[in-house]
Structure 1
């Protein structure tokens, strides 16, 4: 089974999304953060589940969608690094 590691940028993204959502609905913010932190665990057994983003080659960067959020990650040997996440309506 692969190891899952959160980068500091990905963790900052979670905090930023929570803070934004909590302004209007703290319960929805908590639920969103819970699903965003739980969803990537399925990658430990199926790391290539997400669509590959070829613009980052030779790095193996992929993405999955969790509800309306995009989660980008990179596979390096036996480790999956969660790189960034954001709402699909945000500009990146």
Structure 2
């Protein structure tokens, strides 16, 4: 399965890493690396995330630690739509 990030998801990764880096640059690198790893693993098990109701298509969410990764499965491509911290108001 192919993995593709939306512009919003890429911006989310940058934003989250920058926020953490303000207080702990090492932790920011570690969190970003683990988050990217979890997202990459979705290509092997794309249906591991819970389905999200109320959206067209096959939209799912992966809860990874304190973070939520919303993605869509379309054929052989997995689109990462948004990423946020669980305490953010979404």
- Structure 1: unaligned runs, 5 residues or longer: none
Q: Is the 1:35–1:66 Cα contact (8 Å) retained in structure 2?
A: no
| TM-score, normalised by the number of residues in structure 1 | 0.94
Instruction: Report the counterpart of residue 24 of structure 2 in structure 1.
Output: 25
1:25-73 CA deviation, whole Å, 9 max, x = no partner?
10111111111111012211211110000111x3110001111000000
Secondary structure of the equivalent of 1:54?
coil
Deviates more, 1:12-21 or 1:40-49: 40-49
Instruction: Report the counterpart of residue 64 of structure 2 in structure 1.
Output: 66
| TM-score, normalised by the number of residues in structure 2 | 0.96
- Please provide the CA RMSD for this pair: 0.8
State the aligned residue count: 90
- TM superposition outliers: structure 1 runs of 4+ over 3 Å: none
Secondary structure of the equivalent of 2:47?
coil
Matches of residues 4-19 of structure 1 in structure 2 within 5 Å?
A: 4-19=3-18
Q: Cα distance, 1:79 vs. partner?
A: 0.2
Instruction: Report the counterpart of residue 3 of structure 1 in structure 2.
Output: 2
